[in-house]
Chains A and B, each alone.
Chain A
Amino acid sequence: MFRKSLTALTLAAVAPLASAQSVKLCVFDVIGANGDFYNMVKDYALEMKGHGVDFDLKPYTDEGVAVGDFNAGQCDAVAATDLRTRPFNRFTGTISAVGALPTYDDLKTLLATLAQPKAAPLMKQNGYEVLGIIPAGAGYLFVNDRSIDTAGELAGKRMATLDYQKDAIHMVNFVKATVVPSDITNFAGKFNNGSVDTAYAPAFAYEALELYKGIGDKGGVVDYPLAQLTLQIIARDDVLSDEQAQQSRDVAWAMFPQAMDLIHGQEKAIPEDKWIRIPEKDIRGYQEMFRQNRLEMRDGVNGAPDVYDPKMLGLMSKIRCASNPAASECTAANRE
């Protein structure tokens, strides 16, 4: 009897603690705790507290280290770009597939689709679960000479390429440009001091990393989204219940407008005369070029790395064809 009541007492004492579980979240932001994305994750964490999940945030300025600490068990969850989170979920890690989402409207449709409870099974892979996806801005091509405005012009040009981004390396080789292995901390310096001719980055880098220096009087930013970068929150599968994980994805999806405000602000900081607009006809050509490459990187053929998830490519193809039904890919025999 005594033992029983003691157990009951112990449970009663433990229960309130268990309801507000603390989840250690390692957050990547190039400028740490005073960065825009870190601040957005703080908003996310506050919303999640309303759902009984208490996140304890830790800033990282190197996402490789953030993911490393997550792997080493020092954090229960990690918020980093999908360039680094791809190994945890190939499906959501394929969102940044080259040229797959040419507009922010398409990205919006995709993220709304993935936030549905129906998509929950796709969010779990290999013991990990995706707790949310937040846009981080499209990657654009920065060039030191405006004459580099077609894929053909890239041949022979030196391009700063993230050395861990297999799909980008493949694309750079495909257009016969020269890969100059770089990382997030040094690509801007290489572009600005002229040791590479081109680099790709979200608009954020234009001002913060002074890419306008590398652009100079002659260069510009090609107005075509090469890939959609997203910030993904990944947790070990047992950290949150299924219900909480779905609530988390809802919360992250609700932050879409806030994230887009931030991104539009960063893109507006690029002066109008620095954007290089490319003709519609050329865009159609690039879309097909990217599509062929995505197929190769889905199947791992013709020397391409096997990095893309077929389901995600299929979903994004559907979205593109819903927003632009006349596109040639929508009637192609080899649809994604």
Chain B
Amino acid sequence: MYQLATTGRLCVANLKLLIAGAAILLAGCSANPIYSTTGVVLANYSEDEATPYVMQMSDPQMACALGEGVDPLLYSFKRVTDAPDSTGSLLMLLAGNCMEYRAWDAELRYLRADFRGDVPGAKDAREESKRLYAKTAERRYKSFQRAMAAYEFDPAAEPMECPFLYTEQDELTFLLGLLTGMQAIVNDANSGALAGIPRNIAPQAERAAACIDDAKWGGLPNAIRALVWLLLPDTRPELSPDPWQMLDHSAELGIEKGFRASLALKAVAAETFGRPDKLKEAIAQFADAEATIKVWEDYRLVDEVARGVIQFSSDKYWTKHYGYRTPRSFFGKMSPERQMEDVETMDLDDLL
């Protein structure tokens, strides 16, 4: 009798479980088909069409607005289908750029106020830039994580296994993910460590950058590695070239390739390690290349974003030393003095 009752209760329990399971399954089906299909279509469209289109754009500000506006919508599809990590990583990268542009403005405001001796104004602007850099760092860290997830790459794995990158776009997305991770660390430091970004991204990026063809990508992989060697000399393999030489070489490769991201890294390295000579060189190289460079059309946006970084480095220098940003005709120079010695002049004696 007791046994029968127990069996009965078990049957009822099993039936309930079955019904609950079916309900969950059906609810999933009824809620998702269109959403998940849309998600898949959108993710594929973004990868196949939108990303190549955006990469050819020459307006980083508009691209960053796209990142801020579209990322939450596109990435929300991870609720109904696989997370669109590769496009999500690029969109978040663009959104990070937007926040960085605001932080740059605040930093220049701080430097201007500092130059004219307005201490409260400088403090206010510096605090604002710290908050904005913290947000930038958070976005960039997300972008890094998504890029790693997109290619199922574990940056902490020992020994490291390079990811499978099937297309050129995959290679670039992965490479930019590494660069973005590095930038997140720099942004976090400039925020007063408000964002708390793990600092081991740097050595991880150094190792992972070796997975990418350096010459094909304008020296950017080796520029990343050289920057990390300067930051953490321990990570530099024996018999490897001097990091500054490597940065110089990468910068030249970048100009040849029409993709000057390595020059931007050289400028960042120069600022980080207090090398005004190298900063001057990087800015001048960028400006001088303008007349001759044939920008890699497929990735014009990367070159334009790099231009923004170089322009900001120059503006920072000018604002710190002269109180205003680089005048247009002085881009590539570090001083407002004009070279007028060689200009021929006429004798005015007859007219006086």
Contacts and interface: CB of A to CB of B under 8 A. Distances in A.
A35 interface: yes
Interface in B96-143: 114, 117, 119, 122-123, 126
Contacts of B185: 34
B108 to A, nearest CB: 15
Contacts, number: 81
A262 B189 CA distance: 10
B126 A34 contact: no
B234 interface: yes
Contacts of A47: 119, 123
A207 B273 contact: no
B309 to A, nearest CB: 13
Dominant secondary structure at the B interface: helix
A210 B204 CA distance: 9
18 contacts: A20-B117, A31-B189, A31-B272, A32-B231, A33-B272, A33-B274, A34-B185, A34-B186, A34-B189, A39-B190, A39-B192, A42-B126, A46-B119, A49-B117, A189-B234, A208-B202, A209-B232, A269-B196
Q: Which of B114, B126, B234 has the most chain A CB atoms inside 10 A of its CB?
A: B234
A188 interface: yes
Interface string B242-263: 0000000000000000000000
Interface string B220-231: 000000000011
Contact of B123 (A46, A208, A212, A213): A46
A258 B192 contact: yes
B202 A186 contact: no
A46 B232 CA distance: 28
B247 to A, nearest CB: 14
A32 B199 contact: no
Given A39-B192, A59-B274, A269-B198, A46 B233 contact: no
B272 A34 contact: yes
Contacts of A175: none
Given A46-B122, A49-B122, A207-B198, A36 B189 contact: yes
A70 to B, nearest CB: 14
Interface in B176-190: 185-186, 189-190
A61 B193 contact: no
Contacts of B190: 34, 39
